Chains A and B, each alone.
Chain A
Amino acid sequence: MTLFSVTRKNIQGNFKNYLIYFLSMIFSVVIYYTFVSLQYSEEIQKSIQSWETMRSIFVQASIMLILFVTVFILYSNAFFTKKRKKEVGLYSLLGVRKKTIGKMLFYENLIMGAIAVLIGVLLGTLLSKLFTMMLLKLLSSTINVSFSISFEAVLNTLIVFSIIILFTSIQANRLIYRFKLIELFHAEQEGEQVAKASVGAAAGSIILIAFSYWIVFHPITEQQLVQLSLVLFGIVAGTYLLFRSLIVYLLRASQKNKSRYYRGMNLIGTTQLIYRFKGNARTLTMISLLSSVTLCAISVGYGGYYNIEKTARNWSPFSYSYISKNEVFDHQADQIILEDKEHPVQGKLDISVIQVNGDISDLEYVPYGYAAKSVPTRLIAVSTYNQIAKVLNREENLRLSGNEAAAIRPWQDNTFSDYVGHTITLKLSEENHSIKFVKMFEERVLGWVSPDIYVVVSDRLYTDIAKQVKPFVYQAYKVKNEKSTIETAKKLEKLLAKDTELSTFYTMYTKELESSGIDIFLLGFLGLVFLAATGSIIYFKQLNEAYSDQERYQILRKIGVSKREVLTTLSKQTLFVFLLPLVVGILHCTIILKAIFGVNLAEKTIMIPIFMVMAAYVIIYLGYYVLTVKSSNNIVNK
């Protein structure tokens, strides 16, 4: 019998183990290749206007994928190796030389890797077309997708996976040298001590998590980075202790209730879980953290895509607006806009604005790069504001008198603070003038400038100040179907000089569409991969455990536990393992969204996309759960 035929027989005999490892390698290749081929796709490059900046985002995402794929392959390799230690030990026991065994394992892994890459690239070619179409759809591009294999993408994939596979092959080769024979034989029995729960660690987990949640809502330091590190540390350490100690502690406590514990299969279910949790603490921590990051990322991406119109409207509330410089230009611009018959003008306004310096130290928000003592502040008369509100379909009839003023929340103010009751001081050449906010608007009225502090003041005050500071005038138009005003927007851009602060809804909208489209695609893609991976890791783990529990369930069957009872306890245990990281993940995600992105969760426009993302996540997880229960049941309940 040659070494080759032994290897072949081996693969036939251990087909199931090989298959799982093989499939996870193919999965990794498919994901990576698909992604990289998007990066090299000409169709996509053509459809994205700012490709150069997008390219770097793609490259960053692909680096994340490499990291991820490496971890995933190493993980399934470890799972596979563990299953085979005994077999390797047997060869050694039967007198095969270590060098020969090492060589065999090396080639075996290498050949499997090579085949996996081949299959992966072929499948990836099909998938990449699908994903290209999806991305182009998100970008509202009309380019047709041809069928092609990108040479650069293949080369890139080959290089990355050659390194990974070579590494795992060398590891496989070293296996026989790394362990003593006796260790190889006891591989499946090791590390299953009965878990003890420490009260300190269990309490520590609650304290750590509660503390980091608390910091999110009550910042203890000005420095964002320190704050963020504290929160992250608290969450990561707390989650680990939660799985390692708190859960075990709670399960142990539930054992004290004898009339519940000594009832039917509760005895088995509870002890099985305790027995497993400590060993799986690291995996479960990783999974719940990964889930929360994934959920956050997709939620933010989807939230952005969902709110494109709202965002664009905030950048540019009018279809077109610019600062009037002279009558000739105004006339030309007016002509251009009126000529566009497809987008009839619904409203046109001359908006008079005064810019002065103001001391806004009474407010929480300070624009980036300015000192609160002196920030350029723009004033609008209340009558003008009411006209704007009418054209923009905002129902508002504002009345202000004397020193009363209304604030319009700056676009980058994420403090959620209410300005009402606060005062700011306008610095005029003759004297300073304090005004007091009596009203606050969330929706902006003019194109974005930096800093964008707009304040509505009484007509009387406005005329007074206008005597000292000369106002300037915005020409603002609202037209029908403003999302498609590509030609007019381009013509206006050509006509008007830079310092006219020209802002068109169309430009803002497409810019938003492009960046959020790519955001959601990348985040969705990575999220899907992470989701599939976390699901698969739990699946592997549970299957592995089902194999080692086989004997235990056989004993139970002999004692008189029915197949149905076995299935019930199995479903319950698996549910616990699936549900716990998911719940923890969702909880963390909600907090992270609040902490990092300042998302106001009560807001409906944010709630809906986040809720949808979470629902999708839960549904996919449910699929994995059903699959896992079914497979484990097949193993233990034959």
Chain B
Amino acid sequence: MKTIVEAKRMKKIYGGKGNVFTALDEIDLTVREGEFVGIMGPSGAGKSTLLNVLATIDTPTSGDVVIDGTSIINMKEEQLSAFRRDKLGFIFQDYNLLDTLTVKENILLPLALAKMNVAELERRVAIVADKFAIGSILEKYPYQISGGQKQRTAAARAIVAKPSLILADEPTGALDSKSATDLLESLKDLSEQDQATILTVTHDAFAASYCGRVLFIKDGKLFTELVKGKGTRKEFFNKVLDVLAALGGGASDVI
């Protein structure tokens, strides 16, 4: 199976003289096509930095990052923007929907930016809207819909352009448990049926239990890795909790 993310000795150092903070300390990471990978760790472990580097929003101090066969290290701003548009999809904790656009317009935004023709664009929107069950709210504005609907809209926007990699930052962080479950089920289906590659950062062991593989990082280093394998989600959930306890992120970080 194809390798989507190949990161080698990824390092990120913040600050200058005398006041240096190492957010990522030579992390290696490989994600294959169709994988649903979770990244966990206590606050300040470097999860968000890792995600930002993969999202090409932040640049690593050293190391190499290859996404879908292209190294993103030496790209110019213009190229990076095009790269994000064509290869990446994003889901954020606070949805990041544009409040001036309708749900439909929000979803089709990446396609419009890619200048796709209208017929194909409408077809794609209809498919993803169906997948996330938001067909009935397409003409509404973000302030008129619930948090769960907003996050499903954001997810629809993330996958509509069929990106190589979908990055999610605490996607269930602001959702109630019912909405969270709906979203996670959808993401799992996406990776299993459509071979979508998803990488999510989360604090929530419940959310992590939907992943096929969970990476734990601490102090910028890879701590351990759990693979779901053949076991049930319940068993996997308990394993995740065990590792979190060992990681010692504090009780507040575990749900």
- With beta carbons under 8 angstroms apart, the residue of B81, B83, B99 that contacts A561 is B81
Assess whether B245 is interfacial by the CB under 8 Å rule.
Answer: no
Write 13 A-B pairs (CB below 8 A) sorted by A numbering. A258-B118, A262-B111, A262-B121, A265-B113, A266-B112, A271-B101, A552-B99, A552-B100, A558-B84, A559-B109, A560-B85, A562-B77, A563-B77
A146 within 8 A of partner (CB): no
Q: Does B227 contact A (CB under 8 A)?
A: no
Of the candidates B57, B83, B111, B115, the one whose C-beta lies within 8 Å of that of A558 is: B57
7 A-B pairs with least C-beta separation: A560-B85, A560-B84, A562-B81, A271-B100, A555-B96, A262-B112, A275-B100
Q: What is the CA–CA distance of A557 and B57 in the complex, to the nearest angstrom?
A: 9
- Residues of B with C-beta under 8 A to A552: 98-100
A618 to B117, CA, bound (A): 39
Cβ-defined contact, A560 with B100, below 8 A: no
Let me know if A259 is at the binding interface, CB within 8 A. yes
Any chain A CB within 8 A of the CB of B78?
yes
Chain A residue at minimum C-beta to C-beta distance from B111: A262
User: Is A494's beta carbon under 8 Å from chain B?
Assistant: no
Size category of the A interface is: 20 to 34
Determine the chain B residues whose CB is within 8 A of the CB of A563 once the complex forms.
77-78, 81
B108 at the interface (CB under 8 A from A): yes
Question: Which residues A251-309 have CB closer than 8 A to chain B?
Answer: 258-259, 262-268, 271-272, 274-275
Q: Contacting B100 at CB < 8 Å: which of A194, A263, A557?
A: A194
Instruction: Give the CA-CA distance A361 to B6 in the complex, in Å.
Output: 98
Residue in A259, A264, A564 whose beta carbon sits within 8 Å of that of B113 in the complex: A264
A394 smallest CB distance to B (angstroms)? 66
A189-230 near B? 1/0 per residue, CB < 8 Å: 000101000000000000000000000000000000000000
0/1 interface trace, chain B 80-114, chain A, CB 8 Å (1 if under): 01111110101010001111110001001111110
Report yes or no: B84 in contact with A267, Cβ–Cβ below 8 A. Answer: no
A566 (CB) vs chain B CBs: closest residue: B81
Contact check: which of B55, B90, B97, B112 meets A264 at CB < 8 Å? Answer: B112
User: Which chain A residues lie closer than 8 Å to B117 at the CB level?
Assistant: 259
- Asked whether A558 lies within 8 Å of B90 as measured between CB atoms, the reply is yes
Q: Are A559 and B101 in contact (CB under 8 A)?
A: no
Contact A558:B96 (CB < 8 A) given known A262-B118, A263-B115: yes
The residue in A259, A267, A268, A556 that gathers the most chain B C-beta atoms within 10 A of its C-beta is: A267
Q: Chain B residues with Cβ under 8 A from A559's Cβ?
A: 84-85, 90, 109-110, 113, 157
Name the contact of B86 in the complex, choosing from A258, A265, A560 (C-beta under 8 A): A560
Main SS class of interface, A: helix
Q: Of residues B100, B111, B157, which shows the largest number of chain A Cβ atoms within 10 Å of its Cβ?
A: B100
Instruction: Note all chain A residues with C-beta closer than 8 A to B98.
Output: 268, 271, 552, 555-556
Q: Which residues of A have CB within 8 Å of B111?
A: 262
A562 CB contact (under 8 Å) in B78, B100, B109: B78
Which chain B residue has the least Cβ–Cβ distance from A554? B96
Kindly list chain B residues whose C-beta atoms are within 8 Å of the C-beta of A555: 96-98
> Among A271, A559, A565, which residue has the most Cβ atoms of chain B within 10 A?
A559
Task: Check A560 against B112 for contact (C-beta < 8 Å).
Answer: no
**Other-chain contact of B85, A194, A268, A275, A561 (Cβ < 8 Å):** A561
Bound complex: CA A105 to CA B36 (Å): 55
**Alpha-carbon separation in the docked complex, A561 to B115 (Å):** 12
Q: CB-CB contacts of A560-597 with B at 8 A, as 1s and 0s?
A: 11111100000000000000000000000000000000
Task: State in angstroms the CA–CA spacing of A564 and B78 once bound together.
Answer: 8
Complex contacts, A272 vs chain B, CB 8 Å? 100
Please, which residue of chain B has its CB at the minimum distance from the CB of A549? B100
Roughly how many angstroms separate A365 CA and B57 CA in the complex, as a whole number? 76
Closest to A273 in B: B100
Apart from A262-B112, A560-B88, A562-B78: 4 A-B pairs, beta carbons within 8 A: A259-B117, A559-B109, A563-B78, A563-B81
Give the complex CA separation of A272 and B105 in angstroms: 13
Residues of A within 8 A of B78 (CB): 562-564
Binding site for B on A (CB under 8 A): 192, 194, 258-259, 262-268, 271-272, 274-275, 552, 555-565
Give the nearest-CB partner of B85 in chain A: A560
Tell me the complex Cα distance, A632–B81, Å. Answer: 20
- Is there a chain A Cβ closer than 8 Å to B237's Cβ? no
Enumerate chain A residues within 8 angstroms of B132, measured Cβ to Cβ: none
B105 pairs with A267, CB closer than 8 A: yes
How far, in whole Å, are A328 and B90 apart by their CA atoms in the complex? 104
Q: Are A562 and B82 in contact (CB under 8 A)?
A: yes
CA–CA, A109 to B86, complex, Å?
A: 52
**A264–chain B nearest beta-carbon distance, Å:** 6
With beta carbons under 8 angstroms apart, the residue of A556, A557, A560 that contacts B82 is: A560
A267, chain B: closest CB distance, angstroms: 5
Q: A264, B118: Cβ atoms under 8 Å?
A: no
For A268, A274, A556, A560, the residue with the greatest tally of chain B CB atoms inside 10 Å of its CB is A560
Chain B hits for A556, CB < 8 A = 98
State A497–B237 Cα separation when bound (angstroms).
116
Q: Give the distance in Å from the alpha carbon of A564 to the alpha carbon of B105 in the complex.
A: 22
Q: Which residues from chain A contact B141 at a C-beta distance below 8 Å?
A: 194
| Bound CA–CA A558/B96 (angstroms) | 10
Bound-state CA distance A267–B106 (Å) is 10
Within the assembled complex, what's the spacing in Å between the Cα atoms of A271 and B99? 10
In the complex, chain A residues whose CB is within 8 Å of the CB of B105: 267, 271
Question: Nearest chain-B residue to A562 (Cβ)?
Answer: B81
Within the assembled complex, what's the spacing in Å between the Cα atoms of A400 and B164? 95
User: Contact mask B35-71 → A, CB, 8 Å, 1/0?
Assistant: 0000000000000000000010100000000000000
Q: In the complex, how many angstroms separate the beta carbon of B62 from the nearest chain A beta carbon?
A: 24
- A264 adjacent to B115 (CB under 8 Å): yes
Residues of B within 8 A of A258 (CB): 118
Q: How far is the CA of A259 from the CA of B108 in the complex (A)?
A: 13
Q: A262-B121, A267-B101, A552-B100 are in contact. Are A560 and B81 (CB under 8 A)?
A: yes
Q: In the bound complex, how far is the Cα of B77 from the Cα of A274, in angstroms?
A: 30
Assembled-state Cα–Cα distance A192/B108 (Å)? 23
